[in-house]
Every structure is written in C-alpha cells, then in structure tokens.
Amino acid sequence: MKKLIFILLFFASIKGFAQDVIFSQNFLVPETLNSSFTGSIRSTKSGSVFRSQWRNSALKTSSNFAFIDTWFEGYNTGLGISFLNQKESGSSYTFNQVNLNFAMAFEISDTWFFRPSISVGLGSKNYGFQNLLLEDQININTNFINTSTIDPILLKAQRSFMDFSSSLLFNNEESFLGLTVKHLNKPNISLTENGNVPIDIFLSVHTKYYIPLLENYNTRFASKSKVYFLSNYMQQGDFNRLDLGLQYIFEDQLSFGMTVATVPKKNSNNTSTINSISSFAGIRWQGFRFGYSYDINTQELLNTGGIHEFSISYDFDINIRALDRYKCVPFF
C-alpha cells in the first residue's frame, strides 16, 4: 500500500521531472546551456560536468554532462555531440539524452560574429517503477509473487522521445549575448498510453559582458586582469529565474566569481527573491580547464548539503589562437 501511495504521489508530481537541469557552471562550460558554442574556439574540445545536489536529503540528485565538438574551418561550421544523465536516488528516476549539435559562424562586422545552431536529441525518462510490488502481483492463497502486473502506469514506466532545440549567439573578442530555446516540439513524457504531458519550452537569455574597470590602472596586475558581468534569465512553464554575477579572470589562467539566483516573477507568497548563491573557481593548465562551484540554498529547507559541481575540459589544439585568423568566443 505504501508503494502504491508513492506511485500516486509520484504521478502527481511528474511535472517536476519535466524541468531542465541547470548547471551552475554554465559560464565556465557554456556548452551546457547553448549549442552555438559548438566549435566556438575553432578547434576540437571535449569536457564533462559532474553535479551532486542535496546530498544530505532523500531527494539526492546527480547530473552529468559530457560533450565533444570540433570545427570545420573551410565550412565555418561546428559539429558536436553531447550527453546528459540525471538520477534521483529517492525515486530511482533516471533521465538520459544524447544530442547532435550543429553550429555556424558569420562575421557581421569587423569585431562581431553571429552563430546560429540547432540541436537534435533522443531522450529517455525512466520513472523507476519496475522495482515496486503492487497488489495484483501477490497471491494471498499461495503466497506466490507474480513478476508481472497489469497496472497501466507501470506499462509506461519508461518514455523515449525526440527533442529539438535551437540557439543563437552574438560575440566579439570580449563579450557575448546568447539565446536558447529548448524543446521546440514539446516532447510527450506522459506515463499513460494516451496521456499527454509535454515538456515545457525552456527559454534562456544569457550574456557575458566585459567591464573595463581596470583599464585606467597602469600596473602589471591590472593589465592582466579582466572583470565580467554575468546574467542568465531562464523560464520554463511556471518556473523563472534570473542569475546575476561577476567573474574575475587573471592572465587567462585563473578565474573565480559569484552568481546570485533570483526569482523575478514570484508564483506564491512563500517564494523569496533570492533562491541560492553560487561561488565558482577555475584554473587553466596547458590545454586543460578545471572548475569547481558550490551553491548555498537560501530557502527554508533542511540541511540538504548544498550543491557541488566539478568540471574538466580539454582543448586539443591550444596553439590555434596564435594564427589570429578569427575571434574566439570569450569564455574561461
């Protein structure tokens, strides 16, 4: 009976699993947010992000993202593949999706580039019902347990779907402005055969803007330092969030910063203006780039253990920038 109640509660909250994973390091690993970064450094690059969320609670969730992309100079195009995995330990819910990403680059002025992209994905959501034991599986006369059930929900414990997304990116040597629209076809993730629970369209408008704070200081430290303003507005169904922050980079080798996650459109009186605060740091060594971030939740929750993220990426051709034949997208 308890497991049956769990199914009913899970079914009532299925929309919660329709919300996209948001990585805190989307400015360190922008491929998690915008497919127009595919091939954006005009070489081959690969990387991964590992996210551990609410480790001290029953809602412990892990999310992993991996990618590899490359650039075809003669065609001004980038091609890549990415993989996303998410698992929620309390319910055994798992989500896997693989995406093929295609981007192009157009020089629209002496300093600005325009990069449109499309992403085609194949996703699968498994709601973890296969390990549950229901009433029709138990024979009280023989004490025999049947391994199958006629429960209609369990028959659709897993749902596979196609997913289409598109992104735009404008950039110069120091700044960028991006737009991402995911789930253009609104994939159906209903548990039932004839049900319809579409994934809401995910919208993100994000920017990284160079602030010339230190240009007037004639020191070695100031000449090798850069400060950026970060912003990312996201909306999906009733969910909305605006991240605001700053990033400091020294000699293109060391980076650290902080972002604040705010709720510009409150859906209830209990929603606070600030949801969480994220601090992050990154270091570059030869072709490698390492990142770590930690999120502190400001909501009135139990001790959830916060959110940890680790990232690593590798540029296979770190000397390509010396050719000075293009403007790379600015990200650390």
Q: For the segment 304-316, what is each residue's pLDDT rounded down to a tens digit?
A: 678 999 999 998 8
Res 11 pLDDT > 60? no
**Cα 266 to the chain's mean position, in Å?**
22
Question: Comparing 221-225, 240-244, 327-331, which segment has the lowest mean pLDDT?
Answer: 327-331
Res 301 pLDDT > 60? no
pLDDT of residue 236: 95
This prediction has a pTM of: 0.84
Higher pLDDT, 222 or 330: 222
Res 89 pLDDT > 60? yes
Average pLDDT over residues 75-80: 94
Contact criterion met (CB below 8 Å) for 63 and 21: yes
Banded pLDDT at 1 (limits 50, 70, 90): very low
pLDDT of residue 255: 93
Question: Comparing 53-67, 135-149, 236-250, which segment has the lowest mean pLDDT?
Answer: 135-149
pLDDT of residue 228: 94
Average pLDDT over residues 186-192: 84
Element (H, E) at 222: helix 220-223
Banded pLDDT at 96 (limits 50, 70, 90): very high
Residues 35-56: b if buried by 16+ CB within 10 A, e if exposed: bbbbbbbbbbbbbbbebbbbbe
Question: Comparing 216-225, 255-264, 309-318, which segment has the lowest mean pLDDT?
Answer: 216-225
- DSSP conformational letter for 30: G
Residues 328, 290, 326, CA angle at the centre, nearest 5°? Answer: 10
Res 199 pLDDT > 60? yes
State which fold the 2-323 domain adopts. Answer: Porin (2.40.160)
Q: Note the pLDDT tens digit of each residue in 117-144.
A: 999 999 998 876 555 555 555 555 555 5
Euclidean distance between CA atoms 177 and 230, whole angstroms: 10
Closest CA to 51 of 17, 86, 99, 93: 86
Euclidean distance between CA atoms 261 and 281, whole angstroms: 17
pLDDT of residue 318: 60
